[in-house]
Structure 1
Amino acid sequence: MITIIIPVFNVGKYIRECLESLFCQTYSNFELIIVNDGSTDNSLKIIKEYINEYSEKITLLNQENQGVSEARNLANNYIRGDYLIYIDPDDYLHPDYLKKLVLTIEKEKSDVAICGYEIFYDDIKGENYQKKYNVSVDFLDGIATAQMMMNLDLEGYLWNKLFRVSALKAKGIFFEKGRYIQDWYPVFKTLASMSKITFINESLYFYRQRSTSTVYKKSKKKVDDYYYACRQIIKKAELLDIDSKIIAKFRVATFLAIATDIYYINDVDIIDLYQFSFENGYTELIDNVSILKNREISFKQKIKLLLWRGHAFYKIPIVIKHR
């Protein structure tokens, strides 16, 4: 059986589509744990409609609004399945999402199965696109997968990863409270500890982009949380003896992302963006990083970092074009 965990906070506009896609799955051996994180809209009303119809499958937990991390941590205490997946309440699923994940993890006897996804845009401009993982081998071990994440070829999302519960060191994955970037490091650490990880080269999850999502918050806190996650990943990678050139590449890539986001912060008065970066410790990511002989770092990244070091990064609009 699969345990599915969904944290819910004020997603009345989307939760019905999410639940409908779940209860239309071609694989039905699952339990659903929903954590209502203090919703004040009609989310709970819609959830109760589905409880009336699928009472044997749904466990509803209620808490005062504490955030998505605390919601997931609470749900971890109620896991009964052999497999575990966390999904978001504003997304929806391909009908074969669960079936293909569970068949893959069982067939390969792996600890984790990972599928591709499609990004689509709701109330903001953007072009839909699919992300697939064309891994050339049957499976990767934890270190190779961690390395893939540090190359930014694999994201730290939860919702496209099915975990074997017995392979987790604790039941579920622990998430730090109150962070916008709350899944990246826990996923990195968890995958790095696994023995066997398999990939499905199909887009089975539909990831909604919307203006009210925390992904689009332009704030110092988001930058701080991103920086914190980067530092935690780097510390873990060093303990795992991951190639220093790949760690250097990760440092450069993530610092450039931070430098770009700083430009778009709209709740902080920044007089000197360089000084702001230094005072907040972000430049620590690239301290003592040698780029010229590192072939892991792309030519484009090298140019951008040289522009930063020459105090010309923010003067060229194409360099700071938002990702």
Structure 2
Amino acid sequence: MYFSILVPVYNVERYLHQCIDSIMQQTKQNFELILVNDGSRDKSGEICEEYRSKYPDQITVIHQENRGLLLTRRTAIARARGDFVIFVDSDDYLRGDALEVIEQAINRYEADLVLYKYARVTDEGRVTESKAEFFHGEVFTKDNKKRVYERIMEGALNSLCIKAVKLNLIDVERDYSVMSHVSDGEDLLQSLPMLTYAERIVYLDEALYFYRYNTASIMHTFNPGKVESIITVESQLMQYMVKWGMDDAHGWELLYNHRLQLIQAVIWQIVLATELSDGERMRYLHELSGEPFFVEAYDGATDPVLKPVWRLVMLLMRKGRIKTINMLIKAYQALPYRKTKK
């Protein structure tokens, strides 16, 4: 069995050594590593070349002009030669025996797709494992795969980085360039065909992937293209919902709640965007309140899975009470515990 490990690289010189070392020091060495430098402006490209010189038989380095994460991953996929593909982001890293554990699971359960847990790591070294979605070693086939689809529609298991996928499950020939604008949800976008065509999926209750979470590096800015990205991905999810036989009342309830959670994230991003004036913030919220994507979800969800405060915010959004929302935002921002200590 041979693995292709795909790593998109962009301006991560601080973390790239740890990422690549975690791969090259795996207890199983039956893999190729494909690094795609997506127009980095720091020393990431040089670091990639250093490792290629050290491991010329295992590492391929591709340099390209900046194309974004979605198309960078597609570049790597097109070069993959392994039986299975593993995705790693360049500021994250793998557990030392990840490949060994994954290979054992593939052989034991005859799986063509392996799901596993991740652990969130802060720069201070705090590690928090994600919760288990299923039992360890639980296998999903056409008879019970709907349970996996339900979790996908609830917003779980979306990341490519918690999946080892048989190469022939990936839609290698598909042209994703028409979706190059997608900056949010690209993992889900590419996961949908893999999960659909997998005949045997196994879940491992083990954290094999370490996801770096640095609150200090989170930019409090608003990306106006976020909503368009979400709508594009959700339109694809709707198509697969039909393929999965989930276009019933239960399926639509899951979809609408998923949308409301995404809308919540957009609102929160607008709230935290320090570069926005009050007028700009109100304009974005007003546009969002009239977006059919939101209106359909709010009106369609019979039991929104939202905390009380967010139910109130969504109600105000639906009624167009943007000024009231802005007042709540100002009150929130004035809370003493949010003030930066000198």
Which residue in 1 is equivalent to 2:158?
156
User: What amino acid maps onto 2:161 in structure 1?
Assistant: W
Aligned partner of 2:182 in structure 1 is 179
Query: Is contact 1:174–1:186 with CA below 8 Å preserved after alignment?
Result: no
Counterpart CA distance in 2 for 1:155 and 1:61 is 29
TM-score, scaled relative to structure 1: 0.83
Indicate if the aligned counterparts of 1:227 and 1:258 stay in contact, CA closer than 8 A. Answer: no
Residue 256 of structure 2 is aligned with which of 245, 251, 257? Answer: 251
Larger mean CA deviation between 68-77 and 53-62 belongs to 68-77
Q: 2:117 touches 2:130 (CA, 8 Å); kept in 1?
A: yes
- 1:204 is matched with which residue? 208
Q: Work out whether residues 121 and 211 of structure 2, in 8 Å CA contact, stay in contact via their aligned partners in 1.
A: yes
Aligned CA RMSD, in angstroms, stands at 3.1
Deviation above 6 Å: which 4+ runs of structure 1? Answer: 212-216
Whether 2:335 is the aligned partner of 1:309: answer no
Residues 270-307 of structure 1, C-alpha deviations (whole Å, 9 max, x = no match): 32665322344332441541515xxxx54x55884466
Q: Check the 8 A contact 1:83/1:162 in 2, yes or no.
A: yes
CA distance in 2 between counterparts of 1:74 and 1:213 reads 27
Relative to total residues, which structure has the larger helix share, 1 or 2? 2
Kindly, what percent of the aligned residue pairs are identical? 23
Rounded Cα–Cα distance in structure 2 between residues aligned with 1:231 and 1:21: 36
What amino acid is aligned across from residue 39 of structure 1 in structure 2? S
Any unmatched runs of 5+ in structure 1? Answer: none
Alignment CA distance shift 1:284-1:236 (3 Å): farther
SS at match of 2:140: coil
Q: CA deviation at 1:42?
A: 1.0
Return the alpha-carbon distance in structure 2 between the equivalents of residues 291 and 306 of structure 1.
15
Q: Please give the per-residue CA displacement for 1:94-137, whole angstroms capped at 9, x wherever unaligned.
A: 101111112111221111001111112238xx974211435247
Q: CA deviation at 1:221?
A: 1.7
**What CA distance in whole angstroms lies between the structure 2 residues aligned with 1:52 and 1:129?**
35
Distance 2:169 2:302 in 1: 38
- Aligned CA distance change for structure 1 residues 27 and 61 (closer, same or farther; 3 Å): same
Partner of 2:149: 146
The equivalent of 1:282 in structure 2 is 293
Distance in 2, Cα, partners of 1:259 & 1:183: 19
- Where 1:17 maps in the other structure, the secondary structure is helix
Query: Are the aligned partners of 1:151 and 1:246 in contact in 2 as well (CA < 8 Å)?
Result: no
Could you say which residue in structure 2 is the equivalent of 1:226? 230
**Counterpart contact for 1:76–1:173, Cα < 8 Å:** no
Which structure 2 segments of 5+ residues have no match?
A: 334-342
**Residue of structure 1 equivalent to 2:338:** none
In the alignment of these two chains, the number of paired residues is 311
Of 227-236 and 304-313, deviating more is 304-313
Matches within 5 A, 1:1-323: 1-122=2-123, 128-136=127-135, 138-141=138-141, 142-152=145-155, 154-170=156-172, 176-181=179-184, 182-210=186-214, 218-242=222-246, 243-265=248-270, 266=273, 269-271=280-282, 275-286=286-297, 288-291=299-302, 298=305, 300=306, 304-305=310-311, 308-309=314-315, 311=319, 314=325
